[in-house]
Structure 1
Amino acid sequence: MATNYPRTEITGIDISPVQPRCIKPNNVTFVLANLLTGLTFEDETFDYVFQRLMFTAIPLDSWLNTVKELTRVLKPGGYLELSELGPPCRTGPVTCKVFNAVNDFVAKQNIDHKVLYKLRLFVEQTGQFEDICEEKNTLSYGEKMGKLGQAAIDNAKFGLINARQIVLPALGVTSEEFDEMLDIVAKELREFDTYHQIIRVYARKKEIT
């Protein structure tokens, strides 16, 4: 986006210091921040605020306040966009077992893996938006998706590798057995044409009158 719109100033935030220090456009700035404890930006700083795939990081009872904080830093007339994906559908037996273990863990942390169905409600509850739109799509791992499907499989496998320590106790398997399960998951995602539903909600912040 920064390359396509060189006259735009883009700010990215993350709770971890994982941002690249080089090989980035000059119009991009990275900031270390924790959205759950509040952003350091002034009110009405940005023309466009975008958040995606944060469902594993935000407890359900913090979502509305999170959306309100994003709204605070958005200029009147600016746009807020939220995008999340739901749990996998049409899964193979091993894939189902692994994702159930992940879902059981996050549920204990008050994480709602179906929060995508509440995004529009959170935006509406702020009372500060108009022209609220909701779009639904799917992310498929099937062969028909070609390189994009393979990239999705690789990304899912990488995510599960990072979740190894929380999944192993729930599955009751060794680290080596878990690696074998991941190889099976990668095959099942394609063979069963597993997919996620994606919901994107975007809206315009009301002008001050």
Structure 2
Amino acid sequence: MGNSKSRLRKERRRPSHNEQVTQNEETDRSQDLFMPESIKEIERTQYKYFLYKHIFECRFSPPIEDKLNEGTLVLDIGCGPGTWILDMASHYPCSEFYGFDIHEIYPTQIRPPNAHFKQANALDGLAFEKDTFELVRLASMAISFDELQYLEVIRDSLRILKPGGYIEIIETEDSFINEGPILRKFIESFKLLLARHDMDVKLSQKLDSLVSLSGFVNIQTDRRIIILNESEGGISGKLFMQLVDDFFQCSVTETFAADLGLSIEEYKEHWQVCKDEIVTYKTGLVLKKIWAQKNLI
């Protein structure tokens, strides 16, 4: 690896105080809805990675296996508890894996020696030199950024990637497939709640164009339709439904119940009706992975 770690020194200017205040306010608005540091939410994030790995049947999609075995640098933006980093670092000991998140929920002591974590906000800029990483990964970040912020993060990812390096993005599309009437109204109300917190509910549908607009080439997309029950969707459908259930039962319960004017008990009863409808209507979701390459020149 030679002097690879020296390439990680900061190159971007630090934001002004006013810029930092604005960015922190924007970030706090999105965090008001969720409980990212709760044990349940951390477990849900860990569970989500292994489910995504099962659905796509791989840890990553870009063709960089040989480079990982030889030794290279990889970055995970919004790494959460660091599940992907830990899995990759254990599987590819010759490479170095870096992750950062706005919340310090990643392991700080017990971890592979080639796994590195830092608390940071992507909206402050990616503080790495250009042409540093072979792969930059973002997963489930659409709810954290608006369109312009996501575009800036993608463009900055292009800067810090090596020529020929890849970006990989994983998001769940915002609309259910085969919604029943009660679930449709429930989700419409949730989207209104997101919009009032300045979140772009259509952002996941715009990512292909944002990646292209940022200057990436060889853009590939893998869309997997998951029917949210075991009889129709198999084990993936059963597990993905558990993920959805945990989200609406735990992550947003208090905020969404208050927004609907319901008690927690009434909210959970209403969500149970939605769950029954999901089975009846064979409702599904689309999980999408995009990967694209930085030009060689």
The alignment's TM-score, normalised by the length of structure 1, stands at 0.87
1:49 counterpart residue number: 136
Tell me the equivalent position of 1:200. Answer: 289
Would the alpha carbon gap of residues 20 and 198 (structure 1) be closer, same or farther in structure 2, given more than 3 Å must change?
Answer: same
1 CA distance for matches of 2:103 and 2:282? 33
**Alpha-carbon offset, residue 11 of structure 1:** 1.6
Q: Does 1:70 find its partner at 2:169? A: no
1:111 is paired with a residue whose SS is coil
Instruction: Decide which structure has greater helix share.
Output: 2
The one-letter code matched in structure 2 to 1:124 is S
The 1:135–1:103 alpha-carbon spacing in structure 2 relative to 1, beyond 3 Å, is: same
Deviation at 1:10, TM superposition (A): 1.6
**Structure number with higher strand proportion:** 1
% same residue:
29
Change (3 A) 1:24 1:190: farther
CA 1:43–1:90: 2 relative to 1, 3 Å: same
- Report the residue type matching 1:4 in the other structure: H
Over aligned residue pairs, what C-alpha RMSD do you find? 2.1
Normalising by structure 2, what TM-score? 0.63
Q: Distance in 1 between matches of 2:137 and 2:163?
A: 15
Aligned residue number for residue 19 of structure 1: 106
Find out whether 1:29 has 2:103 as its counterpart: no
- Distance change in 2, residues 1:187/1:8 (3 Å): farther
Greater relative contact order: 1 or 2 (C-alpha under 8 angstroms, separation 6 or more)? 1
1:184-199 equivalent positions in 2, closer than 5 A = 184-199=273-288
Quote the offset at 1:58 in angstroms.
Answer: 0.6
Q: How many residues align?
A: 207
Instruction: Tell me the SS of whatever aligns to 1:56.
Output: coil
Look up the equivalent residue of 2:266 and give its one-letter code: E
Q: Distance in 1 between matches of 2:111 and 2:228?
A: 30
Q: How does 1:56-95 map to 2 (within 5 A)?
A: 56-86=143-173, 87-95=175-183
Partner of 2:241: 153
Task: For 2:153 and 2:110, locate their aligned partners in 1 and report how far apart those are by CA, in whole Å.
Answer: 30
Return the alpha-carbon distance in structure 2 between the equivalents of residues 20 and 190 of structure 1: 38
Taking the aligned partners of 1:114 and 1:148, their CA distance within structure 2 comes to: 24
Change (3 A) 1:103 1:204: same
SS at 1:2 equivalent? helix
1:166/1:146 CA distance change after superposition, 3 Å: same
